[in-house]
Chain A
Amino acid sequence: MRRFQPVESVATLLDRDNIDTDQVLPAAFMRGIDPDYGAGLFALWRRDPAFVLNRPGWEKTAILVSGANFGCGSTREHACWALDEFGIRVLIAASFGEVFRDNCIRNGILPIAAGAEGLARLRSMLRDTQDPVHLLVDLATQRVTSPGFEMAFDLPAADKTALLEGLDEIGMTLLEATAIDRWESAEKAGQPWLQTLRTPL
């Protein structure tokens, strides 16, 4: 997986709560076997020429800022692939849909659950200007900065390591292969019906 590097980019404000994954990537854009997920990102909203991602200066954004419960709804990981293929590296929101948040980590996207005060300042800063605002997001120091703006954020240590190292999850788990073997033998002895899925009647 890609290692997470500091990101400097224009920040895009999606100024609402509860943006669900059907909005992030409408189901129509999951069809086809190798679809262009990036093209499907916020596809319904992008039909509107006035939508922020269609405005000059914002097309190449790598940072989205939003409200509560971003990424709620369907667990479609395709939503993360769409963000990734579009070039989004950082999401800053009040909170995230839980599975969606995990999917972000697994796809090298940094989901920042920002504190209320910092997020409110950031949102009003972005709301109050017609010009693109650039942010620098540094995971190593856990800071979001911009001229005249600074915000620290928290992230569980395991997620931080995974993002910074670009760790392969499966490799990490297979380090425990003997424990898995042992566990299977124990279940086979205790609840044998769970260790087999016999041919149906």
Chain B
Amino acid sequence: MATLFDKIWDAHVVGPRQDGRTLVYIDRHVIHDLHAPPAFAKLRKTGRDVRRPDLTVAVTDHMVATSTGRTTSTIPKSAPFLERTRSGALEFGIRLLGIDSPMQGIVHVISPELAIALPGSTVACPDSHACTVGGIGALGLATGTTEVVHVLATQTLAWNKPRQMRIVLDGGLAPDVTAKDVILFVIGHWGSDMARGHAVEFAGPVARALPVEGRMTLCNMVTELGGRAGLVAPDASVAAWLKGRAFAPQGTDWGQAVQAWKALYTDADAVFDQDLCIDCGTLEPQITWGIDPAHVIGLSGTVPNPETAPVAERAELRRALDYMQLQPGAPIAGVPVDRVFIGSCTNARLSDLQAAAAVVRGRHVAPGMHATVVPGSTMVKREAENLGLHQIFLDAGFDWGEAGCSMCAGVNGEEGSPGQRIVSTTNRNFAGRQGAGVMTHLASPETAAAAALAGCIVDRRAVQ
């Protein structure tokens, strides 16, 4: 009577530590250019060594430029981060997927794509969206920089076992409704705090029917639910998706691994601290209107009116509407948009780009629109180019970039300018996240692509 989370957690408990925390073994440690330099510096300062450099991978994603023809010095401020990531990886014997590597990309995109993360494994990463790998049944654990140093030095994390929550996604999805819409709806429905302190398992017919990459989108935004980890039980489609990928187990190991993954499910009699169910059958595509991921409405919906909202919520709603320069009660469709960004660890895998390209094919972005596609990894980029997707985007007037985080968080300086309104396939719409004064609407790649063509937020079902 164990949950999927119990099974993975229990299999990785090394033992209790003196202070009562549990030491959890980390199978894979994937670090990146934003946190690796300070972590390497701390290691050096304390004279410690890396316990398992062979299980550690460093990648450059947050700080790299994503413009065509980029080099490590395209963004002057990024150059020292990239250089210190490189020199530190060399010094400590860690594999580096640098700017020239065909395997470079956003940490949460490449971890599953290269089969660094595997079902039933623990994967630590110093980024809040480590939970993305839950889509293949890996337990992704997000850390801060001090914890990076801890994992480097000990190959463990000292944690308290989180509480557990199951969200059963019931019903079936209408054809235009994607994994992104489902998770936005869930966050909008229950709030950005509801999974605080919990590991979340998504179950039910909708989760099971999602393709592997959609499950990653779903798990990615567990962070925006406040959760510590997200999981979908891996099934045969996951093994098929992983087979033959760069770091995947080979030979007899592969057979044994696939066999072991069959035990990765929640027992029928397992009990969760919270067990919730939500009907997805009547869902329409979703979009955020405000400055919290829970500020979500359907594309046919209207922006809330603070005057008719419960008194306790009015101040927050007013602040959000004010920042987003929206009229209370106005329809969200028709709001003019300056930029569109298709990218990030939420929605920049091959299937996301295919979905966006299907909307864009043969059409052109609206006059004055600045639309960008940044593939989640160099591999995704190559695969997309093999399919000719880049040409569809370029012909339509989109920019086609190199892989990286880019304007998801804008830490490399790629961000919008004040007053710009962006429809973005990323995961956070906090005030200023994509640049000071930038207004962000989160949506699926399809909805973002449709906005680029129309020049405004648009219910693409009405357009087609």
Contacts and interface: CB of A to CB of B under 8 A. Distances in A.
Contacts of B156: 173, 180
Contact of A33 (B19, B46, B81, B428): B81
B257 A106 contact: no
Contact of B249 (A68, A157, A193): A193
Contact of A197 (B116, B155, B260, B316): B116
B226 A72 contact: yes
B142 A99 contact: yes
A32 interface: yes
Given A69-B193, A73-B428, A75-B128, A197 B15 contact: no
A156 B26 CA distance: 25
A173 B253 contact: no
B61 interface: no
Contacts of B158: 169, 172-173
Contacts of A44: 432, 436
B228 interface: yes
Contacts of B114: 200
Contacts of B430: 20, 22-23, 73
B322 interface: no
B105 to A, nearest CB: 14
B170 interface: no
Interface in B27-79: 27-28, 34-35, 37, 46, 48, 51, 54-55, 57, 77-78
Given A77-B144, A107-B146, A169-B158, A161 B428 contact: no
Contact of B253 (A20, A26, A192, A201): A192
B257 A193 contact: yes
Interface string A130-172: 0000000000000000000000000001100110000101101
B77 A32 contact: yes
Interface residues of B, number: 78
A129 interface: no
Contacts of B271: none
A166 to B, nearest CB: 13
Contacts of B197: 98
A66 interface: no
Nearest to B249: A193
Contacts of B116: 197
A27 B80 contact: no
A48 interface: no
B97 to A, nearest CB: 10
B327 interface: no
Contacts of B35: 77
B118 to A, nearest CB: 7
Interface in B362-387: none
B411 A31 contact: yes
Nearest to B256: A193
Contacts of B284: none
Contacts of A50: none
Interface in A60-101: 68-69, 72-78, 80, 95, 97-99
Nearest to B196: A98
Question: Interface extent on A, as a size class?
Answer: 35 or more
Contact of A167 (B19, B23, B25): B19
B145 interface: yes
B154 A193 contact: no
Given A22-B431, A173-B158, A27 B409 contact: yes
Given A32-B77, A74-B428, A176-B14, A187 B144 contact: no
Contact of B292 (A18, A80, A98, A162): A18
B153 interface: yes
Given A102-B144, A180-B156, A173 B431 contact: no
Nearest to B158: A173
B411 A30 contact: yes
Nearest to A193: B249
Interface in B398-453: 409-413, 428, 430-433, 436
Contact of B14 (A31, A73, A179): A179
A161 B316 CA distance: 37
A17 B316 contact: yes
A190 to B, nearest CB: 8
Contacts of A196: 54
A173 B150 contact: yes
Contacts of A33: 37, 80-81, 84
Given A31-B77, A75-B127, A170 B46 contact: yes
Interface in B257-297: 257, 260, 292
A174 B154 contact: yes
Interface in B168-190: none
A197 B436 CA distance: 41
A75 B142 CA distance: 8
A26 B17 contact: no
28 contacts: A22-B431, A26-B432, A27-B409, A33-B80, A72-B226, A74-B128, A77-B144, A161-B19, A170-B149, A170-B150, A170-B154, A172-B18, A172-B158, A173-B156, A175-B18, A176-B15, A176-B23, A177-B154, A179-B23, A180-B14, A180-B154, A187-B27, A191-B120, A194-B118, A197-B28, A197-B57, A200-B114, A201-B250
Interface of A: 16-18, 20, 22-23, 26-28, 30-33, 44, 68-69, 72-78, 80, 95, 97-99, 102-103, 106-107, 157-158, 161-162, 167, 169-170, 172-177, 179-180, 183-184, 187, 191-198, 200-201
Given A22-B431, A191-B120, A197-B28, 8 more contacts: A73-B128, A98-B226, A167-B19, A169-B146, A169-B158, A170-B149, A180-B51, A183-B25
